[in-house]
Structure 1
């Protein structure tokens, strides 16, 4: 197969934020092209958005149901190869299930579904169809994060003992959802966002990053959730004590009322031989702290970078690679994997390194467990299941 992969979209119209990010990321490596979409629940917005993306009107759909039905009837050399779902949380599950029913692979925004039960159903359907799914936990796409993951897997830090991960934002320090902010409006609405606010939105990112880098699964947690802006329906702040496999403990903090903060995601992992630290706002640096030798700073693109990091680097050392590139790495690895599958070829291990259905289920388990612990004064530690 010597062509670009054909992508459809559900959501991501001209009035949306994350849709443009997905398109930039998908197109960055020249592997993917947009061929169709239902870009909004409003047919007029879907049509105007599709036209602005230079799509023919015949491939701009009023509903995602119409899109899947009509795309499936097109010849194989015309119809989309996969669909990207970039709707609010409550509109993830139905289009994802329908896409699989019609034989289309999926890229989907996090959290993967509205409820844990939906995520489990989606996994069952995915296994039934044998199709591929990528979940856009963006921060696992940074080369320095992949460097950290591999170093821990190789035992360079020794036995892992402690994990600290935090994600601080300040954009919800005021009740902007009452001031016409569309992003805040749906993210703070339990009917559209789900049972968790800050923990569902950015806490899931922090938790996925901790499990991804360490390779350890959470076994139980003890949470405190807070609503600090009067009148808000969902948590905007919280802290979680974590217990991982192998007697490893951790602390997770997620807040959206840290006034003045932007996207301050940071992780520290400590073993009995050394520790590491990475911060999303300084993404090209991985700090290594050793028990018996001086601190080191690994820089993205240098000769010391391992194969998993190098396969996700586009430019030479000293040139910053940021959020869009990390996002694009998920699309690139997914597209390489999908292309290999379509060509009946064996994908390289590095191409399989992107979040998928298991990360999605872990994220929904995290949300359920945090809410169960954080809003019940009689409950402390809750098993992660």
Structure 2
């Protein structure tokens, strides 16, 4: 019998970008085997999709309840061990909660839930179950992001004194200006997407990245959000000022109406001795900036990088690695945790990150709605 971890997937069917990203990532290190799931609310669509990607259809289910019920009938050595939740935001919480309660490990897309209250309930559920839970803040899997984290931790840049993170996209620009599209896009529907579109979708990536690479905690936030139209209930652009717990100040700039931008995620951390800059659209370059010194460019795969960075590098220097590899590194870390093998806590985002992300979203929206005031994020 295969020693691979048996994986199921909820959502991610059809032409879903996130679906193929997870499927490819899970296959990278020969740790997981996709055995079934519910890829689409329509069972016929799910069955057709399973046939298309070449997996048996005997474990394709009409919904999560059927999946749990039927899988638990199987011997423990045959049933699915971990389920990836790739559905729209409003389904994350109920699905993840049921899965945890029934003993499954979970890999969940972000934002983890649609509210902080749900996130805390999920956290309490996980504590009782003692299973593995990962949130796919995908960009933490890039080798040079991990290198940035290790360099900051090892005091290469000195005490952090300025944080500037930008995440600009333009994809929603044609949607927001069309009243019909605006009214029928699930990401702009609070019932399906939660209280925030831009901050909830990409702003939370920026927030998690900040806390991941610096290992600081944001203490309070002040935000100014942009909804563009009065009938639009969810932000599509925003700036959030930040105070970290040790006095470091910074900002997050996020937009989905930055016309012409694709996926411009830029992370800049400045310390007393040096600065570091990383750009998602050119992820194999980590820039080290020092006063009076030439710009240095660090690249993945070289022995000067940290063990955490090298563990996430699959190819020799000079061979580009990208978003699939980044997600693959997260799956690799989850596999180690499920198998109870030693792993670095920087290998995959956890429930703690998901809860922090939901708290950030709610505080950012609250700050804006109350007239752009400081809101404490720490309890």
Give the whole-Å Cα distance in 2 for the aligned partners of 1:291 and 1:211.
Answer: 25
What does residue 384 of structure 1 align with? Answer: 377
Tell me the number of residue pairs that the alignment of Structure 1 and Structure 2 aligns: 377
Give the TM-score of the pair, scaled to structure 1. 0.93
What does residue 221 of structure 1 align with? Answer: 221
What does residue 347 of structure 1 align with? Answer: 342
What does residue 276 of structure 2 align with? Answer: 276
Inter-CA distance 177–315: structure 2 relative to 1 (3 Å threshold): farther
* Contact 2:333–2:343 under 8 Å retained in 1: no
Cα deviation, residue 56, structure 1: 3.0
Give the whole-Å Cα distance in 2 for the aligned partners of 1:225 and 1:57.
Answer: 46
What does residue 294 of structure 2 align with? Answer: 294
Q: What pairs with 1:362-377 in structure 2 (closer than 5 Å)?
A: 362-377=356-371
**1:320-351 alpha-carbon deviations (Å, 9 max, x no partner):** 11111111110111112212x2xxxx41336x
Give the whole-Å Cα distance in 1 for the aligned partners of 2:288 and 2:377.
Answer: 30
What does residue 65 of structure 2 align with? Answer: 65
CA RMSD of aligned residues (A): 1.9
Cα deviation, residue 271, structure 1: 0.9
Cα deviation, residue 55, structure 1: 3.2
Match of 2:185, SS? helix
Cα deviation, residue 15, structure 1: 4.7
What does residue 207 of structure 1 align with? Answer: 207
* Contact 1:204–1:366 under 8 Å retained in 2: yes
Give the whole-Å Cα distance in 2 for the aligned partners of 1:167 and 1:300.
Answer: 23
Q: What pairs with 1:241-320 in structure 2 (closer than 5 Å)?
A: 241-320=241-320
Give the whole-Å Cα distance in 2 for the aligned partners of 1:290 and 1:20.
Answer: 40
Q: What pairs with 1:103-252 in structure 2 (closer than 5 Å)?
A: 103-175=103-175, 185-228=185-228, 231-252=231-252
Give the whole-Å Cα distance in 2 for the aligned partners of 1:180 and 1:14.
Answer: 24
Inter-CA distance 117–103: structure 2 relative to 1 (3 Å threshold): same
Give the whole-Å Cα distance in 1 for the aligned partners of 2:298 and 2:58.
Answer: 50
Give the TM-score of the pair, scaled to structure 2. 0.95
Give the whole-Å Cα distance in 2 for the aligned partners of 1:240 and 1:39.
Answer: 36
Give the whole-Å Cα distance in 1 for the aligned partners of 2:59 and 2:5.
Answer: 16
**1:161-211 alpha-carbon deviations (Å, 9 max, x no partner):** 1100000001111226959979x8211211111000111110000111111
What does residue 354 of structure 2 align with? Answer: 360
**1:272-313 alpha-carbon deviations (Å, 9 max, x no partner):** 111110000110111111235332111111221110100000
What does residue 82 of structure 1 align with? Answer: 82
Inter-CA distance 178–66: structure 2 relative to 1 (3 Å threshold): farther
Inter-CA distance 125–22: structure 2 relative to 1 (3 Å threshold): same
* Contact 2:31–2:335 under 8 Å retained in 1: yes
Structure 2 unaligned regions, length at least 5: none
What does residue 19 of structure 1 align with? Answer: 19
